[in-house]
Every structure is written in structure tokens, then in C-alpha cells.
Amino acid sequence: MGPPLLLLLLLLLLPLLLPAGPSTAAAAGDGCTVGTGCDLALGSYLVGTDQNATYIGQLFGHGDNYRLLQPYNPGQPNLDFIRVGDRVNASFPCRCRARPADPAATYLAGSFPHDVKTGETYTSIAAPYNNLTTVDWLAATNTFPPNQIPDVGTVNVTVNCSCGDPAVSRDYGLFLTYPLRGAETLASVAASHGFSSPGQLELIKKYNPGMDGVTGSGIVYIPVKDPNGSYRPLQSSGTGSLCPFARYLLLCIEVFGKENIMSLI
């Protein structure tokens, strides 16, 4: 088989060689390609004093239509009667974004514009999200220095999320961002969401590197079921396949030469 035919065969087989799913280096999306992601992720929101479903819906971009959250909260049959200490799952799109100070540093997150009021700080802006974001993370993902937030402007509140990881499993594509509190650990949260066996816990650890053994701080990512009661499989990301394709094409050019490629046109 001559080089041109071999090259053509390689290009025809290319879709089978490329990994499906979001373009992510890890469950949290470090190293993802801007513009990729998934249409749905969930954040576990711990209800505090004077916080109701309408308030939570507004924080996550649903306006006053908090009932959009109901399908993702089967354990809360009536969101009109949530109590302090309850957890409400808030839904949002999860997209790959770049840090303003370092466009090469990318991550997966939901982004919620916040109209700044006079005297506000990253601390006051992060506080309503109840540990789903942090002061340091807001500073890292916005252009304003912490001591120079304007009286008028917009701060993007970023909540990290996961779309899954094809290197771990293709069975899970819907994830819950869960802030650990008190005595909670990755293992205890995983068990409370149906991942209690040793094998299941090992799977969850792969989505959460560095979090095994951590107690009461940080966020973890847990696969959860969709409103139909099934685990959503990892979805292909059309925009995420461009970079792998380009890398393979450049490799073909390097190996077979431009002249051989042109002979196929």
C-alpha cells in the first residue's frame, strides 16, 4: 500500500480513534478547550437562614422561575417548603472558560453575572453561594483586583462543575458539585449518593484527585441521576473534537508529507 492510500485509510479511521466526550484533562475540566462543556450540571446548595427556592433560583440564573429546579430535587417534593439545612440541587450549564490573567489556564464552570453594588467585595459576593465558590476563586476568574471592585460593574460568579471524564467512564455525564462541610468526606458523600462499595468508591476517587481523606472543606464531583431516574452517559462534544483532529492532521502531514496529501485532493 503506497503512502497516499495509507494516509487516506488513516483519515477514514480517524473518527474511531478520537475520544468521545468533553475535551477535559480531568473531571473538573483543567485544560479543557474553551467553548466545550455540557448543557447541564448541578450544584448542591445548602439552605441558610432567610433563603428560599426563589432566592436560590435567582442566584443560578433562573430568575423567579425556581420550579425549574424541581426535576433535579426528587428528595424535595415541594420547594415551597424547604428548611434551613436542607440541600437543593441547582441546575446550570457547565462550560469551559479561561482565566482572564492567563488564557491558557482553562476550567469548567457555570458563570452567573452579578451586578455590583457600592461597597461590595468578593467576600460579600461569594457568601450567598454557600461554599460553591470562594473569594480566591472569584478573584482568579474576574478582571477586578480584590481591592478595586468598582461601584458599578459586573462580577462573574463562577461555580466549578464537571461533565465527566472519558478516561474514567463513559457511563456518567451528569455531575453534582458538592461542597464538603463538617465531618463530610468524599467517601461519605459518595455513599449518600449510592456509591458505597469499594469498587464504586475507587471510581469516584478518580473524578476527585487529591480529595480522598479530606474532611469538611473543598468541593467534590459526584455522578447523579437525571429527572428520568437514570445516569446520563457521557455526551460527545462537537466543538471539543477540533483540537484532537488538528493534531492528528498535523501528524499525518509530518509523516506522509504535503505532496502525498495534495495527491489525494
Provide the pLDDT for residue 175: 98
pLDDT of residue 239: 34
Q: Is residue 103 part of a domain?
A: yes
Please check whether residue 5 lies inside any domain of the structure.
Answer: no
Say what the pLDDT of residue 251 is: 37
pLDDT of residue 30: 75
User: What is the extent of the structural domain holding 54?
Assistant: 27-252
**207 in any annotated domain:** yes
pTM of the predicted protein model: 0.79
The answer to whether residue 140 sits within a structural domain is yes
Residue 54 domain-assigned?
yes
176 closest CA partner among 137, 97, 136, 232: 232
- Domain presence at residue 125: yes
pLDDT score at 235 = 83
In-domain check, residue 163: yes
Q: What are the CB-based long-range contacts (under 8 Å, 24+) for 69-72?
A: 71/227, 72/42, 72/227
Q: Is residue 259 part of a domain?
A: no
Can you give the pLDDT of all 265 residues of the chain as single tens digits?
554 444 444 444 433 333 333 333 345 667 899 989 999 999 999 999 999 999 999 999 999 999 999 999 999 989 999 999 999 999 999 999 999 999 999 999 999 999 999 999 999 999 999 999 999 999 999 999 999 999 999 999 999 999 999 999 999 999 999 999 999 999 999 999 999 999 999 999 999 999 999 999 999 999 999 999 999 999 865 333 333 343 333 334 443 454 454 454 4
What does the buried/exposed string (b/e) look like for 159-187 if buried means 16 or more CB atoms within 10 Å of the residue's CB?
A: bbbbbbbbebbeebbbbbbbbbeeebbbb
pLDDT computed for residue 1 by the predictor: 53
Q: Total domain count for the chain? A: 1
